[in-house]
A = this chain, B = another copy of it.
Amino acid sequence: MDEPTRAPSRPAGAGELFQLLRDGRPRTRSDLAARTGQTRSTIAARVDQLLASGLVSPAGEAGSTGGRPPATFAFRPGARVVLAVDLGATHARLAVTDLAGSVLAEHDEQLAISAGPHVVLARVVEIGELLLERAGRPVSDLASVGVGLPGPVEHSTGRPVNPPIMPGWDDADVPGLLSDHLPVPVLVDNDVNLMALGEHATQWPTVDHLLYVKVSTGIGVGIISDGSLRRGAQGAAGDLGHVAVPGGANKPCSCGNTGCLEALASGPAIAATLTALGLPTRTGAEVVALVHAGDPDAARAVREAGRRIGAVLATCVNLLNPSVIVVGGQVADAGDHLLSGITEVVHARSLPLATQHLRIVGTRTGAAAGVLGASAMAAGHVLSASAIDALVG
């Protein structure tokens, strides 16, 4: 032997072939051969591998112009399930979904993130096992877990990085703590990124440039650019809470700076404004309740907060040129007042080329955005070309 040889590990390409089937449309072997330029015999062998994996199943016969109609094949999203976990400061929302994000069982409860990773993640495992049971699926059907956390996360390791409202979680090994009990891949990201993923995957799958803005106790953005979530160098992208607002008041912020967006336009900031006007409120939820009760001062304060957010989003629009901005989070429940304020200033302060096709809309997935995004992240991980190749290899 003049060169070291290695046995070919697998015929490459079943994973790539599977990507063509992920949209759920049934396809014939001929369709797949034409789309890939691969031979019929190669396609037949790869389809057999995918059928054996259970991720693809026969889907009936295609129409034919004569003779025996050809068989079709389609992605079978129910082949496996994922556990989707959205943890907030005081609230947990979990779901077991299929691989296309359809919810099979779900559960909400109050759960304080401040109880620390061991307590919180033990409870996540308990609820996860309960939901699998309720969905009638054994743990062996679980393909992966997706977790959203209310703070910065190093996505590659799944560890929180100095999260301000998560005492005890800094650098915690979230995947390790969960996979001791649920022995599958665990993906972790911050909640706003997952809301952007969830809204994009379920409502705007064909839009390549989308921003999802969460307006709540904090203010953050999830960025979809060229069809994918962009996390930045340390996974810190989208953290707009402490940027300075153009034209904004010099109000002190808890971070030590002044004039931060959160100090002017978050739920608690709007509540403080209303309290100063003689309407004692503490949280965004109380502000929203006042708006729904028809209080004009509350509506005006929410609209003004929208203008402050719009002043920062105008810079984001000029920088990234998205075609859709989705506004979600607790304060977005106040409805059109927030959207109007945002839209007014984004249009006043952005270039015509960047706004002529821009849509600014309220969330369609509401409080489910995060859990839908956790499901999309978890399913995306196990359905990637390389994961499928490893599975069928």
Q: Is the beta-carbon distance between B321 and A232 smaller than 8 angstroms?
A: yes
Copies in the complex: 2
How many of A's residues come within 8 Å of B, CB to CB?
Answer: 76
A316 to B230, CA, bound (A): 13
Q: Is the beta-carbon distance between B28 and A6 smaller than 8 angstroms?
A: no
Q: Which of A158-174 contact B (CB under 8 A)?
A: 161-162
Instruction: Confirm or deny: A392 has a beta carbon within 8 angstroms of a beta carbon on chain B.
Output: no
Selected from B2, B33, B315, the residue in CB contact (under 8 A) with A6 is B33
A1 to B30, CA, bound (A): 12
Instruction: Confirm or deny: A181 has a beta carbon within 8 angstroms of a beta carbon on chain B.
Output: no
Selected from B5, B161, B240, the residue in CB contact (under 8 A) with A40 is B5
Q: Is the beta-carbon distance between B8 and A30 smaller than 8 angstroms?
A: no
A39 neighbours in B (Cβ, 8 Å): 8
A38 neighbours in B (Cβ, 8 Å): 8, 12
Q: Chain B interface: which of A18-26, A67-75, A291-299, A331-339?
A: A67-75
> Interface code A58-73, partner B: CB below 8 Å = 1, 0 otherwise?
0000001001111000
**Shortest distance in angstroms between A92's beta carbon and chain B's nearest beta carbon?**
25
A356 to B154, CA, bound (A): 14
Selected from B259, B320, B353, the residue in CB contact (under 8 A) with A162 is B353
Selected from B33, B40, B233, B354, the residue in CB contact (under 8 A) with A234 is B354
A29 neighbours in B (Cβ, 8 Å): 3
Asked, given contacts A225-B225, A319-B221, whether A10 binds B30 with beta carbons under 8 Å apart, the answer is: no
A30 neighbours in B (Cβ, 8 Å): 3-6
A278 neighbours in B (Cβ, 8 Å): none
Q: Is the beta-carbon distance between B232 and A247 smaller than 8 angstroms?
A: no
Q: Is the beta-carbon distance between B240 and A318 smaller than 8 angstroms?
A: yes
> Interface code A320-352, partner B: CB below 8 Å = 1, 0 otherwise?
111100000000000000000000000011011
Sample of 14 more A-B contacts, CB < 8 Å, known A3-B70, A234-B356: A2-B64, A2-B67, A5-B30, A225-B230, A231-B321, A233-B321, A233-B322, A236-B351, A237-B321, A240-B318, A244-B246, A245-B246, A312-B315, A315-B316
A-B contact pairs, 19 of them (CB 8 A): A2-B70, A3-B29, A8-B33, A8-B37, A8-B40, A37-B389, A161-B353, A162-B353, A232-B354, A233-B357, A234-B323, A234-B354, A234-B357, A236-B318, A237-B320, A237-B321, A238-B319, A239-B354, A243-B314
> CB within 8 Å of B: which residues of A?
1-6, 8-10, 12-13, 28-30, 33-34, 36-40, 64, 67-70, 152, 161-162, 208-209, 221, 223, 225-226, 228, 230-240, 242-248, 257, 259, 311-312, 314-316, 318-323, 348-349, 351-354, 356-357, 389
